[in-house]
Amino acid sequence: MKFMKAWLLIAMGFGVVTAPAAELFDMAAIRDASTLDVKVLKDWYPVRGEVMTRQKLITIRVGELVPGKEYRLPVRLIVPHNRKAKGFHLTGGHQLRNMQNDFPPRGLDAELLRGGVGLVFTVVQVLPASGQPELGRMAEQRFIETLNPKYSIQYWGWPAALMRATTAAYAEKDHFEKGKVAMSGGSKNGASPSVALLQDDRLTALHASVSPIWPSPLRLCDEKAWADLRKANERYAARLRNQGKRVDERRIFNHVFLGGTFGPVYNRDALEVGHKWSDLQRLAKAMSPEVFVGPKLAELKKRGAEVLFHPGTHDFVAFDLNWGGKHYPEVPIYLRANSGHGIEGPHPAAERGEQNKAAFLLRHFFGGEGLLPPPRVVSRVNEDRVKIKVIFPEGEKAQSGQIWWMHDRGPDGSAAFLGDLFPEGQSAPMKYQEEDNSWNFTLPREKGKQHIDFFSNHRKTILRGGRAYNTYISSPYTRVPIQ
């Protein structure tokens, strides 16, 4: 049996440990450069590209994901060829097989280096892809047995890797000096930096896509939310059958991500080895302040940290847009219509040439004009129509407004939420109203419909060094009852 060891522990009277560790990260240990056990694969050497750089390739000791089993990763350090880097752009979305290769910077990377900002690369991937498959199996089993987040690659391992790479970079005192440290990436490389940002005040910005943002009831293992989800998925499967469509039972009822607290769903495996829903809830509640940026946004702003999320409208990791839009409308997001993990193509009206990441990072490191802030939404339903108003703060003027809408979309985390895309004909330009700096649209009510979901996107073109960057911000995702 997959988790026989856990059952043996129970039978021997040891029980299953369910209380999360009191402190997820020992930050003194994370910042201790003396324990990195650096192995130099390639010492500092010149590399040509759009800009000349110096680069170094090392491996570092992250820590012990499982007691007695070392977790090591490669790190590539990149600085301008003629000076120290002040701060850096940190990314983990690299492959082990490519880390040996020199990196000739171009585009945004070259622009950062020209301005004196370094680059730090590491590998935030599943452990088999990091060359450590046995450690991955051991850690997963130990986490399911104990529900101790320190054995979890997603709760502890990947965020620790990013923070330890930061420690490794700043240990190179002849090549890096303290400055801003921005992270970017998608999926696990959006989630892991979210955790790291909350833990480590050396980190100052995050651009994350298709990754978790807020602690919705499904993520917190609320039993009623999970029961409602099951019913919604049963209705969706029945609808597909009635339409003569194929029903993928595994994807609809046992999706590996939909409903997961902070990544893949581990609930079933944990319950199988003897844990209870209360154990899952206790872990989720303990992890919530450690991993979700939404509730900590004010705290982050106070310390000068910046964030921008691209969750996707149909993503199986960022599956709780409706809940998040209602409870955390202040979180800055950009929603590309009909986008997310595994979605073949965006909506025909979706923006082309969006440059949020470049504009966000350049502004963070070098100052200048920023992206639009999140607007607020006001909607009013009367007998035959829904009036929508998206209002920006005074002095923050958008250059365009485009709205998308859908009737009776499935609930957050459901198969219908992923399966039903915004229809091609349900998008339109909005009308600007100068007196209150708002963008407006009126939708007709459709008989028999229960609710309507909508969001809008707004452009701001930012000029930097003679180049124009097209940036977009979205209104909070909104669901309005219309029955």
**What strands lie across the sheet with 385-391, from one edge to the other?**
376-381, 385-391, 438-444, 431-433
Radius of gyration for the alpha carbons in the chain, expressed in angstroms and rounded = 24
- Mean pLDDT, rounded, of the chain: 94
pLDDT over threshold 50, residue 324: yes
For the segment 4-25, the average pLDDT, to the nearest whole number, is: 47
Structural domains in the chain, sorted by start: 18-202 (3.40.50)
Range 86-108 average pLDDT: 96
pLDDT at 93 over 80: yes
User: Average pLDDT of 132-145?
Assistant: 96
Q: Convert the pLDDT of each residue in 4-13 to its tens digit.
A: 333 333 333 3
Digit-coded pLDDT (tens) for 354-393: 999 999 999 999 999 999 999 999 999 998 999 999 999 9
pLDDT at 14 over 50: no
Sheet containing 118-122, strands listed edge to edge, beginning at the edge strand earlier in sequence: 39-47, 53-66, 69-80, 118-122, 85-91, 176-186, 205-209, 306-310
pLDDT digits (tens, 9 = 90+) for 412-459: 999 999 999 999 999 999 999 999 999 999 998 988 999 999 999 999
Distance from C-alpha of 314 to C-alpha of 318, rounded to nearest angstrom: 8
Nearest-CA neighbor of 99 among 125, 78, 121, 80? 121
Question: What percentage of the chain has pLDDT greater than the value 70?
Answer: 95
Strand locations in 38-159 (E): 39-47, 53-66, 69-80, 85-91, 118-122
Closest CA to 373 of 303, 299, 461, 460: 460
Per-residue model confidence (pLDDT) at position 154: 97
How much is the pLDDT for 223?
A: 95
The whole-number pLDDT of residue 383 equals 86
Length of the chain: 483
CB 378 within 8 A of CB 329: no
Q: What whole-number distance in Å separates Cα of residue 455 and Cα of residue 374?
A: 12
Is a pLDDT exceeding 80 seen at residue 16?
A: no
pLDDT in tens, 190-248: 999 999 999 999 999 999 999 999 999 999 999 999 999 999 999 999 999 999 999 99
Q: Which residues of 121-135 are buried (b: 16+ CB within 10 A; e: fewer)?
A: bbbbbebeebebeeb
Percent of the chain exceeding pLDDT 90 equals 91
Is 83's pLDDT higher than 50? yes
pLDDT confidence of 344, banded at 50, 70, 90? confident
150-177 mean pLDDT: 98
User: Can you tell me whether residue 471 is helix, strand or coil?
Assistant: strand
CA distances from 222 to 252, 277, 278, 296, 364 (A): 19, 8, 9, 21, 38
Residue 20: what pLDDT? Answer: 53
